[in-house]
């Protein structure tokens, strides 16, 4: 038995050594957040909780670490005619009907198609995200969605640079539209359990940066709803395209695939749309990495350290009514820019920055902003390096 134990130890060491030698670099990892929600019918009764808790996650989590698609489901209209016009059956049904990937109802979330949960508390999503955010990403990705406005055709080209040998991987692309707002149009309201009339959760505070659900009735009218990151298409399917990558890929191998041209509906706002590539392990169905880019832009995974130490960023005072200060570290003197993004994804303010090595303190004039929640971002060479949430109180 002692001799057998020695053999097992030797085999383990040899295997570990081969694995280390085969890995040519450490890929940049992003987590794919698939939020499952529904706006209409009584099946969406509790979905405001998901809207609020997802927004909290996006405000508090550096956006370099994740991509998000809000997948709207639907079980038909209720007796009052409420339904969800953003329902995407080829995406929602494939997930809901999966025994391993279904969140079990609305609202819920699925991370990398290997971890699923409901929005039980406001910490459910952040805790789950932290548990897998350092998982191995297998490849660095590139994505370039080219939109032709005359024909409204979209062509998406994706690249994958693998760090290890791997088998049976495939690609898919999710198209999302942010801040969908269709005032007065059926199917764009939100049923609401947190209402003051007959809500099951009327005593539970539930407010996003744009909607206080406690102040509305059983249905929040479409006039007041802005739906974030709505999934509009998944190419070619939920499971991805088997032929998009070779059956076997090699460490340090770079591969490219262009998806068939996709027509973008005239009812979608291409200026708010994003394409997200999913790298899927075909043997498990898990999403091992992802990367998104807005239409007309291109993005590439980076294996380099960020130019600004995000962990050092502070914003004080916060909430603010007049002046607040953004403080962060920069390893060198460099040019940057700062954006202040409102709850609907619009740039409320922007200005160039000249950073010096060490601690930088940037004053912000909150008195020029309407009361609400904002995202303060510092960008270097077009990439977000620092992101903090700012609450502006009524002046």
The model's pLDDT over 135-153, given as tens digits with 9 standing for 90+, comes to 999 999 999 999 999 999 9
Nearest to 109 by CA among 134, 90, 86, 132: 132
User: For residue 311, what pLDDT is reported?
Assistant: 42
pLDDT tens profile 92-118: 999 988 877 777 779 999 999 999 999
Q: Name the pLDDT band for 305 (thresholds 50, 70, 90).
A: very low
**Residues of the chain above pLDDT 90, percent:** 62
Q: Does domain 31-300 have CATH number 3.30.110.40?
A: no
Cα–Cα distance for residue pair 191/370, rounded to 1 Å: 27
Which part of the chain is CATH 2.60.40.10? 31-300, 309-392
Tokens 């995202």 sit on residue: 375
Beta 31-37 vs 66-72: how paired, if at all?
parallel
Cα–Cα distance for residue pair 18/234, rounded to 1 Å: 37
- Regarding predicted confidence, which is higher, 90 or 80? 90
CA distances from 373 to 250, 257, 326 (A): 46, 39, 15
pTM of the model: 0.77
User: For residue 320, what pLDDT is reported?
Assistant: 85
User: For residue 329, what pLDDT is reported?
Assistant: 84
CB 337 within 8 A of CB 350: yes
DSSP string, 293-312: EETT--EE---SPPSSEEEE
Across 53-58, average pLDDT: 92
Does residue 210 surpass a pLDDT of 60? yes
**72-76, 139-143, 210-214: lowest mean pLDDT where?**
72-76
Does residue 303 surpass a pLDDT of 70? no
Cα–Cα distance for residue pair 91/109, rounded to 1 Å: 14
pLDDT tens profile 326-339: 988 888 889 999 99
Does residue 308 surpass a pLDDT of 70? no
Cα–Cα distance for residue pair 50/47, rounded to 1 Å: 5
DSSP assignment letter at 207: B
Number of other residues whose CB lies within 10 A of the CB of residue 35: 27
CA distances from 301 to 141, 256, 278, 341, 342 (A): 5, 14, 13, 23, 26
Tokens of 92: 């929602």
User: For residue 286, what pLDDT is reported?
Assistant: 96
Cα–Cα distance for residue pair 103/282, rounded to 1 Å: 21
Nearest to 297 by CA among 142, 95, 86: 142
Cα–Cα distance for residue pair 377/383, rounded to 1 Å: 10
User: For residue 155, what pLDDT is reported?
Assistant: 96
| CATH class in words for 309-392 | mainly beta
User: For residue 22, what pLDDT is reported?
Assistant: 65
Q: Name the pLDDT band for 21 (thresholds 50, 70, 90).
A: very low
Cα–Cα distance for residue pair 172/71, rounded to 1 Å: 15
Q: Using the CB atoms, write b or e for 126-143: b if 16+ within 10 Å.
A: bebbeeebeeebbbbbbb
CA distances from 253 to 139, 249, 256 (A): 9, 7, 10
Does residue 234 surpass a pLDDT of 80? yes
**Residues of the chain above pLDDT 70, percent:** 90
pLDDT tens profile 30-50: 999 999 999 887 788 999 999
Cα–Cα distance for residue pair 372/387, rounded to 1 Å: 17
User: For residue 10, what pLDDT is reported?
Assistant: 31
pLDDT tens profile 172-189: 999 999 999 999 998 999
Tokens of 335: 């040019």
Tokens of 327: 């403080």
Q: Name the pLDDT band for 395 (thresholds 50, 70, 90).
A: low
For the chain, counts of helices (H) and of strands (E): 4, 24
Does residue 62 surpass a pLDDT of 70? yes
Tokens 């490219």 sit on residue: 256
Cα–Cα distance for residue pair 165/53, rounded to 1 Å: 38
CB 325 within 8 A of CB 362: yes
Q: Is the dihedral of CA 317, 323, 324, 330 positive or negative?
A: negative
Nearest to 49 by CA among 276, 253, 211: 211
Tokens of 66: 């994740």
């Amino acid at each position: 038995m002692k001799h057998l134990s020695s053999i097992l130890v030797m085999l383990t060491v040899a295997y570990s050594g081969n694995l280390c030698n085969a890995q040519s670099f450490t890929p940049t990892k992003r987590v794919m957040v698939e939020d499952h929600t529904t706006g209409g019918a009584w099946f969406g009764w509790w979905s405001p909780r998901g809207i609020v808790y997802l927004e909290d996650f996006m405000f508090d989590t550096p956006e370099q670490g994740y991509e998000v698609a809000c997948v709207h489901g639907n079980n038909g209209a209720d007796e009052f005619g409420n339904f969800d016009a953003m329902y995407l059956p080829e995406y929602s049904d494939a997930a809901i009907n999966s025994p391993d990937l279904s969140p079990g109802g609305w609202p819920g979330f699925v991370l990398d198609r290997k971890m699923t949960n409901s929005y039980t508390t406001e910490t459910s999503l952040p805790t789950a995200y932290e548990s897998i955010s350092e998982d191995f990403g297998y490849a660095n990705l590139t994505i370039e969605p080219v939109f032709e406005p005359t024909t409204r055709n979209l062509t998406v080209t994706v690249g994958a640079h693998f760090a290890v040998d791997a088998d049976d991987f495939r690609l898919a692309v999710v198209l999302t539209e942010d801040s969908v707002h269709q005032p007065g149009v059926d199917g764009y309201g939100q049923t609401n359990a947190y209402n003051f009339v007959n809500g099951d959760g009327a005593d539970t505070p539930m407010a996003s940066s744009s909607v206080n659900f406690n102040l509305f009735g059983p249905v929040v009218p479409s006039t007041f709803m802005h739906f974030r990151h709505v999934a509009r298409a998944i190419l070619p399917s939920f499971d991805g395209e088997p032929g998009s990558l070779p059956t076997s890929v090699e460490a340090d191998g770079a591969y490219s695939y262009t998806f068939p041209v996709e027509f973008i509906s005239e009812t979608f706002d291409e200026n708010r749309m994003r394409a997200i590539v999913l790298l899927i392990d075909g043997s498990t169905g898990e999403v091992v990495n992802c990367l998104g880019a807005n239409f007309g832009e291109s993005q590439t995974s980076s294996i380099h350290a960020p130019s600004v130490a995000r962990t050092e960023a502070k914003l004080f005072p916060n909430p603010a009514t007049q002046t607040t200060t953004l403080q962060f570290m920069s390893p060198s003197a460099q040019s940057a820019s700062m954006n202040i993004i409102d709850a609907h994804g619009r740039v409320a303010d922007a200005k160039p920055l000249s950073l010096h090595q060490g601690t930088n303190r940037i004053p912000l004039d909150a008195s020029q902003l309407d009361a609400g929640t904002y995202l303060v971002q510092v960008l270097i060479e077009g990439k977000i390096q620092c992101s903090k949430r700012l609450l502006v109180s009524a002046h």
